[in-house]
Amino acid sequence: MSAQAPLLFQSREARLGALDALPRTLWLGALTQAQGRLEPRLAALVALRSALVGGRVPPAADWCWPSPELIAALCETFAELDLPAYCTGRQELSDVVVQSLLFHLDFIPDYRDRGATDARATRMAIEAFGSDWQNRRGQMDELMEVFGKLPDDGKNARWDLLPGLLKSEGWREVLRIRRLLERLPELAECIRRLGRARLSDERDDASRSQVEVMDSAVARHTEQRTVRVPDMPGETRGVHRADRIARMLPAESVLLGHPALRLVWHARRAERTLLCYEDDDRMTEVRHVDAPVLRPRPDPQPDRRLEMGPLLVCVDTSGSMQGGAGEVAKAVVLEAVRTAHAQGRACHVFAFGGTGEVVDMQIGVDAEGIGRLIHFLGQGFKGGTDICGPLEKSIACLEQAAWRMADLLIASDGEFGATPELVARLDDAKRALGLRVQGVLIGDRETIGFLEVADHIHPVRDWRRYGDGARGSDSPVHTHRLTALYFPGALRTAENRDATVSGEVASAAVRAGLRRGQPLPADLLPPEPSSDDPTS
């Protein structure tokens, strides 16, 4: 069989074989780059990209492109910026680093055309690359500070949009809320426990199942046994050797009539070897015995807690949530997004106000999701409170397969009430789907409305300390004269001072049997204090 003839352009295309290991976004830059020859350049880019994804930089001796001066400068720059640590396991970010490197190295001929020497042009390109990634590294550090890790690597991630978002005023608000979370560590633990996608090692005391437990016990039972009573008249069972004359066989008694064999008979009797009938009696004995036993009993045992599922977050944005309460509510949303992103979970946020004022957002950590989060955390809260809208949307989400294992988190001051029909639907979802509703109470007291919908309520009692005075008062009272309004006699004013009598006058009126409004007789009035009385 003859060998297959080579293709027409196979030898020429073999030079480009390294492109198969590079993404298409790098093809143009790799092919048109001005530095070095094509084959070494492609091989070096493949090795560099693979090394960055693996969290390292190839040693200078393994680089076959570009020039030795550039290789030494690039190795130093990569080590100084610690770029491999950011690119570990992130192919898209590694591609952006390689693409940026090709972009900046393309400017070396332009720097030369402007009069720079070769060394100066090389240094300018490396400095521009380092300065660019110094800024980007600062942005990535901010993203990691807020979200725990860099944005998702999905195809919709827009790294070119992130710098603009991170310079906005809204991002400053996100950083401020992130610092607030450091003072509320209990929120992170509360949100982490939500979801029902997998079993945890913790016990869930709220969920118990009946389990058969074997307990040690002592039981008394009846035991029967047959006791043999030897040598008692009873059943003849056979022949055996003994010394019982009454049961001796007739052949043995013949020996007694013989003068010589008589002595043999006496010897055999002494030796208990006479042939005798074997008979005995057997009796049945019944007795009661105490014995240890294992007794099964049904016992409710706590199940293992479920966690790590999708998150449904309903956050109150009514007017009563202004100030410190609103800041804590924003912190709840940010922590939910951070937890979902760090653990690979979906997060859907429902911001609700008055009737029909429900904004639902599925927030992911990419450029678009960060933009939505910045917009939400930067807005003020106002309007009424209607919990029915977000609860209906949450129940509708639970009917979808992607959200079947989700738990619901409600962050509010509790000043709401759901309709009985909606509460019944929520209870049905709890029974049928295992839904758990966690409440974050950002207020001073639990309300009936909150207790009806939430299985467990986590209170944030010191919410006032997180408020910003410039955003409005955090005082829970609507006026500083609350005492004067509801307890008018508690404050000393001219009006109530004139209407107040001393204890002596009140005692005299009681002794006289006077009622309210009746004047006190003059003889019962206390004497007027003199002008020289120091106590007047």
Q: 535 pLDDT band (50/70/90 cuts)?
A: very low
β-pair type (456-459, 274-307): unpaired
CB 443 within 8 A of CB 414: yes
The angle, 0 to 180 degrees and rounded to 10, between the axes of the packed helices 324-342 and 118-147 is 110
Residue 50: predicted pLDDT: 87
Alpha carbon of 250 to those of 238, 243, 247, 262, 277: distances in Å? 15, 14, 9, 14, 10
Residue 64: predicted pLDDT: 81
Task: Name residue, tokens 């055309």.
Answer: 113
Per residue in 431-459, pLDDT tens? Answer: 888 888 888 888 877 788 888 888 888 88
Residue 432: predicted pLDDT: 86
Residue 308: predicted pLDDT: 66
Q: Where are the alpha helices (DSSP H) in 345-387?
A: 367-377
What average pLDDT score do residues 73-86 get? 85
Tell me which H or E stretch contains 181: helix 169-181
Mean pLDDT of the chain: 76
Q: Which one-letter amino acid corresponds to residue 250?
A: P
Alpha carbon of 130 to those of 56, 57, 76, 103, 125: distances in Å? 17, 15, 10, 12, 9
Residue 474: predicted pLDDT: 46
Q: 517 pLDDT band (50/70/90 cuts)?
A: low
Nearest CA to 389 among 428, 334, 350, 444?
A: 350
CA 379 centroid distance within chain:
27
Residue 345: predicted pLDDT: 79
Q: Six-digit token pair at 338?
A: 């951070």
Given a cut of 50, is residue 536 above it in pLDDT?
Answer: no
N residues, the chain: 536
Q: Which one-letter amino acid corresponds to residue 421?
A: E
Of all residues in the chain, what percent carry a pLDDT higher than 90?
3
Please state, in angstroms and rounded to a whole number, the distance separating the CA atoms of residues 216 and 242: 51
Please state, in angstroms and rounded to a whole number, the distance separating the CA atoms of residues 3 and 309: 58
The least confident of 194-198, 349-353, 505-509 is 194-198
Residue 195: predicted pLDDT: 65
What average pLDDT score do residues 166-175 get? 72
Task: Tally Cβ neighbours within 10 Å of residue 343.
Answer: 15
What average pLDDT score do residues 259-271 get? 90
Residues 6 or more apart in contact with residue 462 via CB below 8 angstroms: none
Given a cut of 70, is residue 234 above it in pLDDT?
Answer: yes
Which of the pair, 307 or 251, is modelled with greater confidence?
Answer: 251
CB 500 within 8 A of CB 476: no
What average pLDDT score do residues 181-204 get? 67
Alpha carbon of 188 to those of 94, 337, 351, 418: distances in Å? 31, 11, 20, 27
Please state, in angstroms and rounded to a whole number, the distance separating the CA atoms of residues 208 and 433: 16
Residue 267: predicted pLDDT: 92
Which of the pair, 272 or 57, is modelled with greater confidence?
Answer: 272
The angle, 0 to 180 degrees and rounded to 10, between the axes of the packed helices 420-433 and 388-398 is 30
Q: 303 pLDDT band (50/70/90 cuts)?
A: low
The full 3-state SS of 481-507, as one line of letters, equals CHHHHHCHHHCCCHHHHHCCCCHHHHH
β-pair type (358-362, 347-352): antiparallel
Q: pTM for the full model?
A: 0.56
Q: Six-digit token pair at 199?
A: 């079993």
Residue 265: predicted pLDDT: 92
Residue 151: predicted pLDDT: 67
Please state, in angstroms and rounded to a whole number, the distance separating the CA atoms of residues 191 and 176: 20
Given a cut of 70, is residue 294 above it in pLDDT?
Answer: yes
Which of the pair, 191 or 265, is modelled with greater confidence?
Answer: 265
Task: Tally Cβ neighbours within 10 Å of residue 506.
Answer: 12
Please state, in angstroms and rounded to a whole number, the distance separating the CA atoms of residues 132 and 139: 11
Dihedral of alpha carbons 210, 213, 215, 220, sign: positive
Residue 430: predicted pLDDT: 86
Given a cut of 70, is residue 142 above it in pLDDT?
Answer: yes
